[in-house]
Structure 1
Amino acid sequence: MKNVHKLTEGAILLAAYTVMLLITIYVPILGAFVNLFLSLPFIMFAAKHNRQSSLVFIVAATFLSLIVGTLLAIPLTLAYGLTGLVMGDFVRNQKGRAAVFLAGTITFLLNLVAQYAVAVAFFKIDIIEQSVDLVRESVDQSMSILSALGQEQNAVLLEQLNAGIELLQSLVPSLFVMISLGTVFLIQLVSFPIIKRFGVNIGEWRSFRELTLPKSLLYYFLFALVASLFLQTDAGGYIHIALTNILFVLQLLMVIQGLAFIWYFSHLKEWPKALPVIVTVLVFIMPFLLYIVWILGIIDLGFDLRKRMIK
């Protein structure tokens, strides 16, 4: 009887996944929203059943994807399916929301990197290089139009644009991490309220204002900053790319720490709840605020600013 129930539940979830996959592939606008729910059937199944059953489930989902979809369906199933299974397995073992988020992010990131490597190695398709070339062509065309109109090219602006393109190309590993973090966050945001309604215990998030990153990150940040200032590295070299990405990720973490402190301070002062939300939005719109929050995060992490305020 138990196996019959498992098979029935698995069939229903596979049917739901197939419908969502078809919408994602063939209905562009609606599919952009529906693809966030692709991990939901996998999370629900893995949260209730063991790993062996989950493995059979994703094999069946991959086989169905090959039948009803295109070649694009296989990478989608592997990325969202494996991520969902890992998240569901962590939910079933009551690992906590933070652990579920971290495991899901790592799984999605590994899928992203692996699929990019396969596309480059076997299909000679490098989306990143093609995107960079497209941006360079757009810049060159814009400069050609300005020359045709009789206006002089701004050498400083052209140099800044080229430097920005090179920086973007160097930050590809960090962009992969950001994409993975953002995707898994959205998957949790839309999926967990649904599986909670089906009686699955998913745990609770700690409040954002209580977030405190490990203090060791500050030492890593200072070390990377000093290394980038004193090490003479070639642009495009492995050391340069590694330091650029490490600094980018650590700076982002310091901004998050600073925002968490603002939310904590607002709660402590009993200010309106809308205020920290407005500040958070403004930080990503106004660059000068970003630097202020970044410095605030460093001070909070390095000098235990919250404990000093309580005292």
Structure 2
Amino acid sequence: MKNQRIITEGALLLSIFIVLLLFTIFVPLLGMLSIWALPIPFILYTVRHGLKAGIFLLVGTLLLTLAVGLIMSMPLAIMFASSGLVIGYLLKRKLSSFVVLVGSTLTYITNILLIYVISIVIFDLNIVDSIEKMSSDSIKTAEEIMVAIGQENKDVIIAYENAMEVAIYIIPSLIIMTGILFSIITILVAKPIVKRFYSELPDAKPFREWNFPKSIIWYYIIVILLSFMQLEVGSSLYLVVINLQVLLELVLMIQGFTLIYFYFHAKGSGKGIPIAITVFAILFAPLLSIIRILGIIDLGFELKAKIANANKVS
């Protein structure tokens, strides 16, 4: 009887996944929302019935995806289904929210890399080469337009070329950041729904209380010093340095935002002001440098602890 119930539940969740997948593929506007719900059936099923049951559901889903003719959507199905499976398994083991985030992020990154490899091996399509070609074509087009209207500006063209070149070199960082972003969105969307069926979810530490290791500052200083060296563009060391710089600056920026949220929470100002600051900083990029400096100061001088102590005294 119990096995019958598990099978029935699996069939229902499998059907829900296929419907969500169809919406994601064929209804563009709704698909922008439904795509983040794709992992939920796997999270629920794995949390309730374990890893083995989750794997069976994954295999069944892939077979049904092929059966209904959605062959080209297989990478999408595998990416979000496997992420849901990993999240569900880690939640089942009652591991911390940080471990769940890391596990989900690594799953997304692995899938992105697999898609890249498959696109080269099977479809003879190198996404990086395609991006480079598109960038080169867009630069040529922009240059031709500027010449045609009599406003040729070599400095602008050179700056744009340099920006495109850097963008190609930081693709590893962009893949990692994409994995983190996908993981965060998946968890935020899934948590309220999963909590209704599984009450033993680990409590996540509030964003304002996040603190990265102090050693991040030293890593950042070393990377900055290395970046001042005349590294050969495209060399292995150059790629390592430029990608580490991007990732460490992202970490310090997040630390800066946590300080802002902590400060306004300590002052009892609610979330409105820090959210407004976040949106404004993202829209006005130069402010992100200030946020990053705040993150460095917070890690170096433990500003959150000082703010908390000041509130206790007052």
> What is the alpha-carbon distance in structure 1 between the residues aligned to residue 123 and residue 249 of structure 2?
35
Alignment check: 8 A CA contact 1:82 1:107 kept: yes
Alignment check: 8 A CA contact 1:47 1:88 kept: yes
In structure 1, the residue corresponding to 2:122 is in which secondary structure? helix
In structure 2, the residue corresponding to 1:54 is in which secondary structure? helix
**Matched AA of 1:216:** S
In structure 2, the residue corresponding to 1:284 is in which secondary structure? helix
> What is the alpha-carbon distance in structure 2 between the residues aligned to residue 138 and residue 87 of structure 1?
40
Structure 2 segments unaligned to the other structure (5+ residues): none
Other-structure match for 2:177: 178
Show CA shifts across 1:211-263 (max 9, x none): 11111211111111112213x32212221111111000000100110111111
Q: 2:245 aligns with which of 241, 244, 247?
A: 247
Alignment check: 8 A CA contact 1:47 1:200 kept: no
**Matched AA of 2:198:** G
Other-structure match for 1:57: 57
Q: 2:274 aligns with which of 244, 261, 276?
A: 276
Alignment check: 8 A CA contact 1:94 1:202 kept: yes
> What is the alpha-carbon distance in structure 1 between the residues aligned to residue 242 and residue 202 of structure 2?
36
Other-structure match for 1:109: 109
> What is the alpha-carbon distance in structure 1 between the residues aligned to residue 11 and residue 145 of structure 2?
58
Show CA shifts across 1:59-91 (max 9, x none): 111101111143222111211111110000011
2:1 equivalent to 1:10: no
Other-structure match for 1:41: 41
Other-structure match for 1:236: 234
> What is the alpha-carbon distance in structure 2 between the residues aligned to residue 135 and residue 30 of structure 1?
30
Q: Where do 1:268-307 residues align within 5 Å?
A: 268-307=266-305
**Matched AA of 1:215:** K
Q: CA deviation at 1:96?
A: 2.3
**Matched AA of 2:50:** N
**Matched AA of 2:5:** H
* Pairs aligned (count): 309
Q: CA deviation at 1:132?
A: 3.0
> What is the alpha-carbon distance in structure 1 between the residues aligned to residue 71 and residue 238 of structure 2?
36
Q: CA deviation at 1:304?
A: 1.6
Runs of 4+ aligned residues of structure 1 deviating over 6 Å after TM superposition are: none
Q: Where do 1:137-176 residues align within 5 Å?
A: 137-149=137-149, 151-176=150-175
Q: CA deviation at 1:197?
A: 1.4
2:262 equivalent to 1:259: no
> What is the alpha-carbon distance in structure 2 between the residues aligned to residue 43 and residue 14 of structure 1?
12
Other-structure match for 2:203: 204
Alignment check: 8 A CA contact 1:37 1:190 kept: yes
> What is the alpha-carbon distance in structure 1 between the residues aligned to residue 20 and residue 265 of structure 2?
40
**Matched AA of 1:125:** L
Alignment check: 8 A CA contact 1:213 1:301 kept: yes
**Matched AA of 1:196:** K
Show CA shifts across 1:43-65 (max 9, x none): 11111112222211111111011
> What is the alpha-carbon distance in structure 2 between the residues aligned to residue 77 and residue 273 of structure 1?
36
Alignment check: 8 A CA contact 1:215 1:301 kept: yes
Bigger shift: residues 153-162 or 72-81: 72-81
Show CA shifts across 1:132-185 (max 9, x none): 322321221121122223x14211101100000001101101111111111111
Other-structure match for 1:71: 71
**Matched AA of 1:37:** A
TM-score scaled by length of structure 1: 0.95
Q: Where do 1:61-100 residues align within 5 Å?
A: 61-100=61-100
Alignment check: 8 A CA contact 1:22 1:69 kept: no
> What is the alpha-carbon distance in structure 2 between the residues aligned to residue 74 and residue 64 of structure 1?
10
Structure 1 segments unaligned to the other structure (5+ residues): none
Alignment check: 8 A CA contact 1:22 1:68 kept: no
> What is the alpha-carbon distance in structure 1 between the residues aligned to residue 14 and residue 135 of structure 2?
40
Bigger shift: residues 187-196 or 132-141: 132-141
Alignment check: 8 A CA contact 2:45 2:88 kept: yes
Alignment check: 8 A CA contact 1:119 1:125 kept: yes
Alignment check: 8 A CA contact 1:283 1:289 kept: yes
TM-score scaled by length of structure 2: 0.94
Alignment check: 8 A CA contact 1:96 1:202 kept: no
Q: CA deviation at 1:32?
A: 2.2
Bigger shift: residues 109-118 or 159-168: 109-118
